[in-house]
Amino acid sequence: MEIKGKLLIASVFCGWLLVPASAAALGVTIGYIQWVPDQGPVLSNVTPDPEDAGLRGAELGIADNNATGKFLDQTYTLESVMANDADDAMATLDDMLENGIELLVTRVPADTLRAMAKRAGDKALLFNAGASDDDLRIRECQPNTLHTIPSYAMLTDALAQWLNMRRWKEVFLITGPTEEDKAWADAFRRASKRFGLEIVADKPWTFDSDLRRTASRELPVFTQASDYDAVVVADVRGDFGEYVPFNTWLPRPVVGTQGMGPEAWHRVVEAWGAAQLQNRFRELSGREMNSEDYAAWAAIRSIGTTVTGLSEAGRSSIREYLFSDNFQLAAFKGRKLTYRPWNGQLRQPIPLVHPRGLVATPPLEGFLHPETELDTLGYDKPESDCQIH
Amino acid sequence: MKNFFKIASLAAAISLSGPALASLAYVSNEKDNTLSVIDTETNEVVDTIDVGARPRGILLSKDYTKLYICASDDDTVQVLDLATRKIIDTLPSGEDPEQFALHPNNRHLYIANEDDAIVTVVDVETKDVLAQIDVGVEPEGMAVSPDGKWAVNTSETSSMLHWINTETFEIEKNTVVGQRPRHVEFTKDSKIAWASAEIGGTVHIFNVDTIEEIRQIDFKIKGVPQDRVQPVGIELTSDGKYAFVALGPSNHVAVVDAQTYEVLDYLLVGARVWQLDLDKDEKFLYTTNGVSSDVSVIDVEALKVIKSIKVGRFPWGVVIDPTS
* Residue in B84, B69, B1 with CA at minimum distance from that of residue B35: B69
pLDDT in tens, B274-305: 999 999 999 999 999 999 999 999 999 999 99
Three-state DSSP state, A137: helix
Per-residue burial over A172-206, b if 16 or more Cβ lie within 10 Å, else e, is: bbbbbebebbebbbbbbbbbbebbebebebeeebe
Angle formed by the axes of helices A110-120 and A86-98, nearest 10° = 30
User: Which of A15-19, A43-47, B12-16, B168-172 is modeled with the greatest confidence?
Assistant: B168-172
Count chain A–chain B contacts defined by CB atoms under 8 A. Answer: 70
Q: What is the DSSP letter of A49?
A: P
Section B119-142 average pLDDT: 95
Quick check: A10 pLDDT over 60? no
Q: Please tell me which of the candidates A328, A334, A336 has its beta carbon nearest to residue B249.
A: A334
Q: Under CATH, what is the fold of the domain A154-262?
A: Rossmann fold (3.40.50)
Q: Higher-confidence residue: A171 or B3? A: A171
Note the pLDDT of residue B239: 95
pLDDT in tens, A67-81: 999 999 999 999 999
Residue B126: CB partners within 8 Å, gap ≥ 6?
A: none
C-alpha angle A265-A269-A272 in degrees, rounded to nearest 5: 110
Cβ–Cβ below 8 Å for B157 and A308 = no
Where is average pLDDT lowest: A10-19, A376-385, B32-41, B198-207?
A10-19
Quick check: B18 pLDDT over 50? no
Cβ–Cβ below 8 Å for A71 and B171 = yes
CA torsion sign, A299 to A304 to A310 to A315? positive
Say how many CA atoms lie within 13 Å of A139 toward its Cβ. 4
Helix then strand then coil, % of chain B, to nearest 5 = 5, 55, 40
Note the pLDDT of residue A213: 56
| DSSP string computed for A255-297 | EESSSBEE-S--TT--TTTHHHHHHHHHHHHSS---HHHHHHH
Average pLDDT of every residue of chain A? 91
Section B137-159 average pLDDT: 95
Section A216-223 average pLDDT: 85
Q: Please tell me which of the candidates A71, A328, A374 has its beta carbon nearest to residue B136.
A: A71
Note the pLDDT of residue B69: 97
- 8 A C-beta contact, residue A255 and residue A192: no
Please give the backbone phi and psi of residue A261, each rounded to the nearest 5 degrees, phi first.
-160, 175
Cα–Cα distance measured from residue A377 to residue A363, given in angstroms and rounded to the nearest whole number: 7
Note the pLDDT of residue A357: 97
Number of structural domains, chain B? 1
Cα–Cα distance measured from residue A33 to residue A149, given in angstroms and rounded to the nearest whole number: 15
pLDDT in tens, A366-382: 999 988 999 999 999 99
Q: Percent of chain A beyond pLDDT 70?
A: 92
pTM of the model: 0.87
Q: Higher-confidence residue: B54 or A4? A: B54
Section B96-121 average pLDDT: 93
Quick check: B15 pLDDT over 50? no
Residue of B nearest to A64 (CA): B137
| DSSP string computed for A296-344 | HHHHHHHHHHHHHHHS---HHHHHHHHTSTT--EE-SSSSEE-B-TTT-
- B259: domain CATH number? 2.130.10.10
Q: How confident is the model at residue A337 (pLDDT cuts 50, 70, 90)?
A: very high
Q: Higher-confidence residue: B73 or B35? A: B35
Q: Which residues in chain B have their CB less than 8 angstroms from residue A70's CB? A: 134
- 8 A C-beta contact, residue A78 and residue A58: yes
Query: B68: distance to nearest CA of chain A, Å?
Result: 22
In a mutational test of the A interface, the residue from B116, B158, B171 whose CB has the highest number of chain A CBs within 10 Å is B158
Note the pLDDT of residue A210: 59
Note the pLDDT of residue B115: 83
Note the pLDDT of residue A314: 92
Cβ–Cβ below 8 Å for B158 and A305 = no
Note the pLDDT of residue A45: 76
Cα–Cα distance measured from residue A233 to residue A309, given in angstroms and rounded to the nearest whole number: 43
Quick check: B5 pLDDT over 70? no
Note the pLDDT of residue A58: 98
Q: Which residues in chain A have their CB less than 8 angstroms from residue B158's CB? A: 67-68, 71, 308
Cα–Cα distance measured from residue B226 to residue A328, given in angstroms and rounded to the nearest whole number: 13
Cβ of residue B228 closer than 8 Å to a chain A Cβ? yes
Helix then strand then coil, % of chain A, to nearest 5 = 35, 20, 45
Average pLDDT of every residue of chain B? 92
Number of residues in chain B: 324
Q: Alpha carbon of A332 to those of A272, A288, B119: distances in Å? A: 5, 16, 22
Quick check: A202 pLDDT over 60? yes
Q: How confident is the model at residue B21 (pLDDT cuts 50, 70, 90)?
A: low
Portions of chain A given CATH number 3.40.50.2300? 8-150+266-348, 154-262
Q: How confident is the model at residue A212 (pLDDT cuts 50, 70, 90)?
A: low
Cβ of residue A64 closer than 8 Å to a chain B Cβ? yes
Q: Higher-confidence residue: A13 or B205? A: B205
Residue of A nearest to B177 (CA): A309
Note the pLDDT of residue A18: 38
Q: Which residues in chain A have their CB less than 8 angstroms from residue B227's CB? A: 335-336, 372, 374
Section A251-273 average pLDDT: 96
Structural domain boundaries, residue B247: 2-16+23-321
Q: Which residues in chain A have their CB less than 8 angstroms from residue B114's CB? A: 276
C-alpha torsion angle, residues B58, B67, B285, B230 (rounded to 10): 0
Quick check: B2 pLDDT over 80? no
Q: Under CATH, what is the fold of the domain A8-150+266-348?
A: Rossmann fold (3.40.50)
Quick check: B12 pLDDT over 50? no
Note the pLDDT of residue A42: 82
Cβ of residue A276 closer than 8 Å to a chain B Cβ? yes
Q: Which residues in chain A have their CB less than 8 angstroms from residue B134's CB? A: 70
pLDDT in tens, A287-324: 999 999 999 999 999 999 999 999 999 999 999 999 99
Cβ–Cβ below 8 Å for A71 and B158 = yes
* Residue in A327, A373, A368, A369 with CA at minimum distance from that of residue A349: A373
Note the pLDDT of residue A209: 63
Cβ–Cβ below 8 Å for A68 and B136 = yes
Query: A201: distance to nearest CA of chain B, Å?
Result: 37
Section B21-47 average pLDDT: 94
